[in-house]
Structure 1
Amino acid sequence: MDKTLLRRQILDKRSKLGKNEHEIYSNSILNSLLNSAYYKNSKTIMTFVSFSDEVDTHELIKAGIRDDKNLVVPITIKETKELKLSLVTNFNELEPGYYNILTPKKEFIRYKDPELVDLIIVPGVVFDREGYRIGYGGGYYDRFLSKIDKNVPRIAIAFDLQIIDKVPREYYDIPVDYIITEKEIIDCNNSQFTVHDSQL
């Protein structure tokens, strides 16, 4: 099955999640992430800002700020199809931007070097258990991740309904290390295993 059709099918499934389920599942995923050693030991976290029916990251951003993390979010540069990172110190610094996704207001843009990042929270539409993903089709994250040290942990957060057996792959695709869903934490390097919060 091609990426476009898979993307459409999973987005349709995700859109049918009830509001209550979406909130419960998002909270479960967030709790697993906040309880992980990767989060606790990180200094600079890159996370996407969720929109529509994605797993909610707004509370993650607020928690990171409360926990004195350097919390950076991507700014989409349409002309070059790249992501730049900006430090967020208050959730109210964000406003709707490209694709209606919350992004830092101009007066609060504080660009940071991607080399400072020691944990990356990765979005996506479809995932398999080996960490390969289908995004929204822009290629922004594949280009960004290709320039990041491979030792920086990459954790995807997604609902269980977004996990399939195998995602179509291209040579430039970069898998994530873990996927946290409301049901399990998948170690993508040992994809048949589920890990516990305390092991992440």
Structure 2
Amino acid sequence: MKKEIRANILQQKSLISDEVVNNTSISIFNILSQQNFYKKANNIMLYISFGKEVVTKYIIEDLQKSGKRVFIPVTVPKTKALIVSELKDFEKDLQVGHFGVMEPKEEALRPVDPSILDLVIVPGVAFDQSGYRIGYGGGYYDRFIPRLSAHATTVSLAFDMQLIDKVPTSQYDIPVQYIITEKQLIQCL
């Protein structure tokens, strides 16, 4: 069931123009940037967007301009784990990594313990109003989220068309606390 939903949403997203992705991403960023959990966070982890995902470069630029620490996930396919690495220079630190996603170069790998994170922006393909998500199928974030401290906020950014009525769940699925689309902020818990 998840595979079919994932394939369907990815197919729909592939039809969105780059201009619409960009403009919609700016609308989502504008909603995110008004939230207290964003304003108060000092240590933020987010993914480097690729393809037709909500563009995260604006967020990274805003956070770094505000003097906040930015961290990105590094995937370890063998163990399905995520390493949290500090990003200091968007242009110089990154190279194409696993799954075609930008990750730190070896010399720019700056691992930290996930417990320092205040805010984690969690990627996904499809979401429901309860905060459950269908990711890209690796289970990385469902293993990672339990390692966060109790004070960390989890939020997903999505285009409104990525919302579905109900995500099929298992005991290992962990919902995010908020979802932000170009139209709304959803408080999930």
The amino acid of 1:16's aligned partner reads L
SS in 2 for 1:154: strand
Does structure 1 retain, via aligned residues, the 8 Å contact 2:115–2:147?
A: no
For the pair 1:83 / 2:96, whether they are aligned, the reply is no
Which residue of the partner structure matches residue 165 of structure 2?
Answer: 165
How far did residue 151 of structure 1 move? 3.5
Q: 1:188 is matched with which residue?
A: 188
- Deviation (angstroms), 1:32: 1.2
Structure 2: gaps spanning 5 or more residues: none
C-alpha distance after superposition, 1:131-171 (max 9, x if no partner): 00000000000000122234311010000000011000101
Q: In the alignment, what sits opposite 2:35? A: 36
Amino acid at match of 1:33: L
Question: Does the CA-based 8 Å contact 2:154-2:176 persist in structure 1?
Answer: yes
Task: Write the letter of the residue equivalent to 2:100.
Answer: N
Question: Partner letter of residue 127 of structure 1?
Answer: F
What amino acid maps onto 2:153 in structure 1?
A: P
| Contact 1:65-1:90 within 8 A present in 2 as well | no
Separation (CA, whole Å) in 1 of partners of 2:151 and 2:164 = 26
Counterparts of 1:109 and 1:98, CA distance in 2: 15
Written as runs of structure 1 = structure 2, the 5 A alignment for 1:135-154 is 135-154=135-154
Moved over 6 A (4+): none
The answer as to whether partners of 2:116 and 2:149 remain within 8 angstroms in 1 is: no
In the alignment, residue 41 of structure 2 is paired with which amino acid? S
CA distance in 2, matches of 1:16, 1:139: 26
TM-score by length of 2: 0.96
CA distance in 2, matches of 1:78, 1:45: 23
Partner SS state of residue 130, structure 1: coil
CA distance in 2, matches of 1:19, 1:78: 29
Tell me, in whole angstroms, the C-alpha distance in 2 between the residues paired with 1:64 and 1:105. Answer: 21
Report the CA distance between 1:90 and its aligned residue: 1.2
CA distance in 2, matches of 1:28, 1:136: 24
Alignment coverage as a number of residue pairs = 188
Shift of 1:47: 0.4
SS of residue paired to 2:38: helix
Counterparts in 2 of 1:1-200, with a 5 A limit? Answer: 2-92=1-91, 93-189=93-189
Distance 2:15 2:185 in 1: 23
